[in-house]
Structure 1
Amino acid sequence: MSTLPLEPVPGPRGLPLLGNLPAFGRDPLGFLVRLRDEYGDAVTWSLGPRRSLFLSHPEHIAELLAARETGYDILEIGWAFKQVTGDSVILSKGADWRRKRSLVQPTVRPRQVRSYAATMVACAREAAGAWQDGRRIDVREQMALITQRIVLRTLFGNDLGDQTRALGDAMSVAEEVIGAELRGINLFLPGWIRTPARRRLLRAVAAIDAEVHRLIDARQRRPDDIEGRDDLLSRLLAARDDEDRPLTAKEVRDEAVTLWAAGHETTSTALTWTWFLLATAPDVRERLDAELDQVLGGRPPTIDDHDRLVWTGQVVKEALRLYPPAWLIPAVAREGATLGGTRIPTGTIVWCSQWATHRDPRWFRDPSRFRPERWGPDAPDVIPDHAWYPFGGGQRTCLGARFAQVEAVLLLATLAQRFRLELPPTDPGPRVGLLLQPSAPLIATVRARDIPAIRRIPPVTS
C-alpha cells in the first residue's frame, strides 16, 4: 500500500449524460495532462455516465497496478476490442485469468525469447536487403512489415506466404476501429448495432480467424508434429494446466491473436517513433553509431550482444518514454478497493496514463526532450518507480514485455548499423487510437552508412 495519502479533487464539469467524454474524445492526451497540471494527482471526472478517477503520482499508480487482480476488475474497452482479443488472458479475471496466464507465460519467458532472437535479426536483415541509398520509404510501413514477419514466424512458424500482407492489413483495420471507438460515443453502443466501421471490423476479424483456425486445425490433425516445433502456436497447443487440461481451440485462437496484435503493432510503433527521434538528435545518433561499430564490428547482432548494447537500449527506453505505444490503463474498482488509504467507490473507473506520467516535469527534467542519457547508470536524476511503465506493472504486466524490448533493440541495431533515415524537420504529433501512432506518414530518405573501424563512443551533449 502507498504511504502517500490519496486525496481526490473534482475535475472539470461535464455535460449531462456525456460527462467529460466530448473533451476527452477531442484531445485525449491534452485532456489527461490538463487534469494532472490543473487539478492534481487524483482527479475525479466522468466518462459518459461512468464515474472516473485519474491518477498521476507514481506511488498511487504502483499501488493500483499491484492491486489490479485483487481489488479491481478489467474494463472491457468497447465492443470492438472484444472482437479481436476474445476471452484472452488480457480480459480474463480471477481463476480463469490465473489458469490462462500460467499456460501462456511460459511461451514468452526469457529462455524462449532468446531462442527467437536469430529470427528477429534475420527478418530485419531481409528487409534491409531491399533498402538502397537514396530510396524513399514509409517508416511505419517498413517497421510493420518487419515486425509482422517476425511475429508470424515466431507465432505460427512461417510467413503465411501471400496471406501475410492481407492479414497485416486486417490487423491494421482492427486497430483503427478500436481506437476510434475508444474516443467516441460508439464506446457505449450495444454490440448489436452495426455501424459501417463495425462491419469493416467484422470482415477483418473473419479474415484473421479463418487463417488462425486453419493453422490450429492443421496442427491438431498432426499432434506428433507439435512436440517438435518451437513456435508459440505449438507451445500454446501443447500447454497443460494443473489438471492436465489443454487450452480449447477458441482459447488458443484468442491468445494467439492477442499475442500477434500486441507483438506486431507495439514494436513497430515504438521503432517508428525511435527513428523519428533519432533524426532530430544528431549527437544521440552519433553515439549510437559508435556503439554499434564498437560492439558489433560490422557483424549482425546476436542475443549475446543485447546487454552490451547499452546506449541502444537507452535510446529505445527513452523513445518508449516519450511515445509509449500503449498510453492508458483502466481498472474498475471492486467493493472494498482502496488507494493511499482512501476507499474508492465501487464501480469507479480508475485510470493512469503512460503519456501523462512519462512527460511529468516532476520526474523528468526537460520532459519533452529526447535524452537517452537520463537512463544511464551515472545519470544525476533519480527516476521514481512507475514513473516509466510502458508495459504496465504488477501481476498484469504485459506478458510480451521482454520479447518487445529485446526485439526493438536488436532490430534497431541491425538496421541502424547499415543505414540512417533522413526525415523532414516536422513533428507529426501522435494520433490517438488503441496505440499512439504518428498522425501523418513518416517518409524518410535512406542513407547507407560506411561502417568504419572501431572507434571511441563520444559523449552526448545534454
Structure 2
Amino acid sequence: MDTEVGGDVGAGVRPRRHAVVPGPRGVPMLGNLPQFGKDPLAFFTLLRERGDMVSWRFGGKRCVFLADPDCIGELLTEAEAGFDRNDLGISFRTLLGNGVVVAKGADWRRKRSLVQPSVRPKQVRSYAATMAGCAVELADRWSDGQRVDIKREMSALTQRIAVRTIFGTDSEADAEAIGRAMDVAQREIGAEFRGIGGLLPDWVPTPGRARIKKAVKVIDAEVSRVVAAHRGGDSERPDLLSRLLEARDEAGTRLSDKEIRDETVTLYIGGHETTSSALVWAWYLLSRNPRVRAALGAELDRVLGEREPGFDDYGQLPYTQAVVKETLRLYPTIWLLTGQAKEGSTVGGVPIPAGTRVWSSQWATQRDPRWYPDPEEFRPERWDPDTGDDIPEYAWFPFGGGPRVCLGARFAMVEAVLVLAVLARRFELEVDPGEIRPVPTLTLQPDRDVLGTVRGR
C-alpha cells in the first residue's frame, strides 16, 4: 500500500499521491481520536497536508483519509459496489432511524425510488412560491437599524419553510417544538461522534444518549401527530408528506409508519438545517466582503427590479447562485463523508483492506490550494463558467455525489438562492465584529450567536 501510483503534473502543482502514507502518531487504545475529537476540521486539514491518501486510527479502527478529488469520486460513485455506509453511532441512528441516508443495499434502492419523486425539479418548482413567500414575510418584519439574531432568524425562516413544504401545516408551535429538539439532537450527535462515546457499545447509557432520546421523542410525537392528520385526508395535497404517504414501490407496497417517520426527519434536516446554516454563513461572509455584497445587489437590481423572485428567476441569478456555492465551499454544512471498504475495494488503484473506514472531508478538500487559488478568500467569481477557476469534479461536494448524492440538493440550492434574493434585494446585514468559528455537529454550526444590524438598501 506504499507504492506511488500518481503521474507527472505541471510545475507548481502538488502531485496527486495515490499511495497510502502514514498519518500523525496516535496514542495506545485511542489512536488519533484525541486529535480528531479536539478539532476535527483542523485534524482533517492536517491529514490533507500529509497526502492524498493518509492512514490513521479512530480508536482501534483502521482508517484511510482521502483528499484527492479523483479518489473521493471513487468513494462516492462506488458507494454501493465497493463501500458500505459507515455506522456513525447510536445517537445518529436514534435521530435518523433507517432512512434513505442510512439504509443499505436493496432497502436503500427501494427507499430512494419512493422518496426521489417528491424532490424532483417539477416538485421543487411547486415549493418555490412557499420559499419566497416565507422570506417576504420575514423581510416585511425587518426595518432599517433593527438589531437581529441572524442565526435565530434564519433558523425560524427555514423551519417555517420546512413545516409548510414537508408537513403542509402552518403551525408555529410545530416548528418551534421540532426545532428545539433538533438542536439538542445535533449537539449530542456531534459530541458523541467526536468523543470517546462513539467507541462505547450501544447498550451503554450516557447522559448524552438520554438527552437525544428525549429530544427524539418530541420529534416523533410531532411527526406522528401530523401523519395521523394526513391519513385519509386530501390525496392531492402538494406537501412532501402527502406524496410520501401515497408513494408505492414496484410491488405496490407503501412506506410503513416507521419508514414515513424516518424519511420525514431526513427531509426536514435537509430542508431546514442545511439551508439555515448556509444562510447564516452567507450573511457572515457578505458582511465582511463589501465588493461581493455590491455585486450581489447589482445582479438583484438588474434581474428583479422592485419585484420578488420566483422559481423562473433561479436560472437568471448566476451570481447569487455563486454566492451560495462559494459559501458552501468555505463552510460546507455537511463536513465529512465516510464509508467502510468491502472485500476487494480499491481507491486510486490501491487495495483497501476490507473493514477499513474510508473518510473524506468537504472542509479539507474544498479549501485545498491546488484546486482553489487563495482558498481562504470569499470569491464567488471563481464559479463563473467562462472566467472562473478550473475546479475538478468532486473538489466541491457539499451534497455528496454519485448514487447517494443528497436527494434534497436542488431543494436546498433553490431555497437558499430565493431566500437570499428576497432579503438581499431589500437589506444588507452588518454582522457584529469578531471571528465566528465553525463547530462540527451533525452540521457545521457557528460557535456563538450571530448578531447584526439590518440596513436598508
Tell me the TM-score range normalised by the shorter chain.
over 0.9
RMSD: 1.3
- CA distance in 2 between partners of 1:386 and 1:218 (Å): 42
CA drift of 1:5 comes to: 7.1
Matched, 1:437 2:449: no
TM-score normalised by the chain length of structure 1 = 0.94
Alignment match, 1:185:
196
The C-alpha deviation readout for 1:257-279, integer Å capped at 9, x for no partner, is 11112211000000000000000
Q: Does 1:295 align with 2:319?
A: no
Which residue does 1:15 correspond to in 2?
A: 27
Unaligned ranges ≥5, structure 1: 450-462
Deviates more, 1:161-170 or 1:208-217: 161-170
Is 1:210 equivalent to 2:221 in the alignment?
A: yes
Q: How does 1:150-161 map to 2 (within 5 A)?
A: 150-161=161-172
CA shift, 1:219, in A, is 2.1
Matched, 1:271 2:283: no
Q: CA deviation at 1:129?
A: 1.9
- The answer (yes or no) to whether the contact 1:32–1:356 under 8 Å persists in 2 is yes
Task: Specify the code of the residue in structure 2 equivalent to 1:35.
Answer: L
Which residue of the partner structure matches residue 304 of structure 1?
312
What's the counterpart of residue 290 of structure 2? Answer: 282
Deviation at 1:379, TM superposition (A): 2.1
- The amino acid that maps onto 1:254 is D
Q: Which residue of 2 aligns with 1:446?
A: 454
CA contact (8 A) 1:5 1:341 kept: no
Could you tell me how far 1:226 is from its partner in structure 2?
Answer: 4.1
Structure 1: distance between partners of 2:312 and 2:302: 15
Of 14, 35, 38, 2:47 maps to 35
Tell me, yes or no, if the aligned pair for 1:288 and 1:311 is still in contact at 8 Å: yes
Specify the code of the residue in structure 2 equivalent to 1:331: G
The change in CA–CA distance for 1:161 and 1:229 in structure 2 (over 3 A counts) is same
Q: Does 1:399 align with 2:411?
A: no
**Structure 2 counterpart SS, 1:162:** helix
State how 1:272-421 maps to structure 2 within 5 Å.
272-421=280-429
* Counterpart for residue 92 of structure 2: 81
**Aligned match of 2:12:** none
Distance across 2 between alignment mates of 1:104 and 1:5: 39
When structure 1 is superposed on structure 2, of 421-430 and 239-248 the one drifting more is 421-430
State the alpha-carbon separation in 2 of the partners of residues 226 and 197 from structure 1. Answer: 40
1:101 match: secondary structure: helix
- 1:102 matches 2:110: no
Residues 278 and 332 in structure 2, CA contact (< 8 A), matched pair in contact too? yes
The structure 2 residue matched to 1:118, chosen from 101, 108, 129, is 129
Q: Deviations over 1:369-411 (max 9, x none)?
A: 0000000123253111111110000000000000000000000
- C-alpha distance 104-380 of structure 1, shift in aligned 2 (>3 A): closer
In structure 1, what is the Cα distance between the partners aligned to 2:422 and 2:164? 18
Unaligned 5+ residue runs, structure 2?
1-5, 8-15
- Determine the C-alpha separation between the residues in 1 that align with 2:383 and 2:224: 43
Equivalent of residue 242 in structure 1, options 239, 244, 250: 250
C-alpha spacing 1:250/1:226, structure 2 compared with 1 (3 Å): farther
For the residue of structure 2 that corresponds to 1:92, the secondary structure is: coil
CA deviations on 1:274-307 (whole Å, 9 max, x unpaired) are 0000001101111111111110011100001000
Per-residue CA deviations over 1:119-169 (Å, capped at 9, x if unaligned) read: 001111112222121111111111010100001100000123423212210
Deviations 1:64-87 (A, max 9, x none): 110011111111211111011001
Residue type at the aligned position of 1:19: G
1: CA distance, partners of 2:313 / 2:142: 24
Determine helix, strand or coil for the equivalent of 2:80. Answer: helix
Q: How many corresponding residue pairs? A: 444
